[in-house]
Structure 1
Amino acid sequence: MGEIQPEIYILSRDAEESARLNRQHEILLEIYGNNLIHPSIPKENLHSVADLATGTGIWLRDAATVLSMWNRNPSSPYYLHGSDISSAQFQPIPAQANAEIQLSLQNCLEPFPAEHHGRYDFVHVRLLVGALRKGEYELAIKNVFDILRPGGYFQWEEIDMNSIRSDISPQPPSLIEARGLLLDSLNKSDLYTKPAGHIKSGAERIGFGNLHIEEYNSTARPHLRDWSRAWLTQGLQSLIPMSLIRLGKASEEDVAKEMAEELMAVFKRECAEVTVGLTMDMVIGRKPERLKNAL
């Protein structure tokens, strides 16, 4: 397993970015066919749930609603816990009957406090592609393993950055440039551009079973055409400035933002009438009921 390096998160943590994350959550739900939790995971058995890198906590908000529909027994309350390396984007989560919801500071690369070990029926992780270096994924996966109870499930969602493309050929030049900047920046920073396969193989080495990857492509849902393009435009505009700086194409943040705005203005014109999509990979796995070294 790799050593923990200084944080490399390339997005801001201001109100604008929080709003973008919340809009992103809504479109991802649409891409997944409104399956917040993969259908293969038995929701009736989920009484304790953790959300790592929770951001604003919006996933937990919807998880509380979903689980309330499956858990109607007042004598069997459920517990939801969100954690993140920063509390800057935490937002209040509406109270739910028969539920305890908490948010706390926690680096997913650091071991969780002992009270969390073996506590959770389900752990959710999403979109750390720009935050974890290649050698750090197994640290995070090991921490997921440790906080799951035997028989518990995890669900980890990541973008396949290589899949960003339009439905026309040749591809719009601005899309080629934007995608190239993003991929070059990730590669230079020792980040995966398609993490799902590495998450699956790392989880297998650590001891997870029942592992599989579910692929969801935004272009498979035509009603998301305009929404998906707008989401990608916002995401690229947020990511490109730091990519330009990392690649040495801009020395200052203000200059990088101006360059990104110019590129994205062309992108909006060239892609105004095309479908632009990407693939989301969802890795699902289960901690064995009985560990190999158990007596």
Structure 2
Amino acid sequence: MTNTSEETQVYDSTTFWIAPARNFRTSARLHLQHLLFQNTLDHILEPNIQTFVAGRKELKVADLGCGNGAWLNDLYDELSSKGISAQLDGYDINPINFPASAFLPPSVTLKKLDILAKPLPADMVGAYDIVHARALTSIIVGSDLSPVLSAALALLKPGGWLQWEESRADTWVVQPPAPDVSTTACDTIAHMLKAAGQARGSGFEFLGELGRHVEEFGFSDVHSLSVNLRPRDLKAWTEDYLMVWEELYVFFPPKAEKPEAPMTREAWVDLFAKAVGETEKGVAIHQGAIVSVVGRKAI
């Protein structure tokens, strides 16, 4: 719920994702996001990693930025069905969305950890066969992938695999169901978000060549996959993004505080309401595709 009296904030990934507002609403969105990623990719483990896993009896997997553990829960089911005993560890800077351990599968453990902090705990270094990462673009500054890739490389055993999946955050698609349906408000917000990302040095253009960046960092057997979103899922993707957009009002000053601001909090709230109205007439908001890259740590 929008509170126009809240203090104006500046985006900082180290504080935004642990704020009290990242609560059950965020967790619900993460469940939806996981469903949509799986609908698009149609696998939990990428095929090359499935081959790596085949025939193994034991496995250790780390999920970076695990959120509420939805991916690990599905991975547990998949590995269990193949008779694989796995230690599945999820790490996230904000534990508020973790399910109670009593309700998790026995081999799934979720732990609070800033995966970009150095040094990493010694018992984690070189401990994992697979490291999974998803939707981490919001913590990447200046298109510098080295913090994420360094963490993944450090966690992996020699010969272990990284699986990294992202929406094409460099692209905003505002898609009307018919030419006569207005998209003015949604187009305005999409333009603002792209400009804001570029202003903080993160236009996310690296996503178009994520595989090359992973390979140049020292991973081998790199495979890239780009999968277009299913039209039947576009309404759900739209609602997922609306839940994000709804929270952005805190980055705009109230009119009483800065009446000369190019976008005040009240103006944003009005713009967002108009965008919601457009989506209720069928306008879809999405990012076109999901890119998935896997790579192997040198043996």
Q: TM-score, normalised by structure 2?
A: 0.78
Asked if structure 2 preserves the Cα contact closer than 8 Å seen for 1:120 and 1:152, the reply is yes
Amino acid at match of 1:188: A
| Equivalent position SS for 1:234 | helix
Greater mean deviation of Cα atoms: 176-185 or 165-174: 165-174
Q: 1:62 to 1:141 in 2, by over 3 A?
A: same
| Equivalent position SS for 1:115 | helix
Corresponding residue pairs, total: 270
- Residue 287 (structure 1) aligns with: 297
Partner Cα distance (1:31, 1:173) in 2: 28
Asked if structure 2 preserves the Cα contact closer than 8 Å seen for 1:50 and 1:81, the reply is yes
Unaligned ranges ≥5, structure 1: 291-295
User: Deviations for 1:32-64, whole angstroms, at most 9, x for unmatched residues?
Assistant: 23x122222124347110001111122211111
Q: CA deviation at 1:197?
A: 4.5
Equivalent position to 1:105, from 107, 112, 116: 112
Q: CA deviation at 1:195?
A: 4.1
Asked if structure 2 preserves the Cα contact closer than 8 Å seen for 1:119 and 1:148, the reply is yes
Partner Cα distance (1:192, 1:116) in 2: 32
Greater mean deviation of Cα atoms: 259-268 or 57-66: 259-268
1:181 paired with 2:189, answer no
Partner Cα distance (1:55, 1:194) in 2: 25
User: Deviations for 1:238-289, whole angstroms, at most 9, x for unmatched residues?
Assistant: 3x325546xx98999xx63x4443223222333422444322221211112x
Equivalent position to 1:24, from 33, 41, 47: 33
CA RMSD after TM alignment:
3.0
Asked if structure 2 preserves the Cα contact closer than 8 Å seen for 1:8 and 1:131, the reply is no
Equivalent position to 1:13, from 22, 28, 34: 22
Asked if structure 2 preserves the Cα contact closer than 8 Å seen for 1:8 and 1:130, the reply is no
Equivalent position to 2:92, from 84, 93, 97: 84
Q: CA deviation at 1:189?
A: 2.1
Equivalent position to 2:77, from 59, 65, 90: 65
1:209 paired with 2:220, answer yes
Asked if structure 2 preserves the Cα contact closer than 8 Å seen for 1:49 and 1:81, the reply is yes
Sequence identity, in percent? Answer: 24
Partner Cα distance (2:259, 2:131) in 1: 39
Asked if structure 1 preserves the Cα contact closer than 8 Å seen for 2:31 and 2:70, the reply is yes
| Equivalent position SS for 1:88 | helix
Partner Cα distance (1:144, 1:138) in 2: 10
- Residue 128 (structure 2) aligns with: 120
Equivalent position to 1:230, from 236, 239, 242: 239
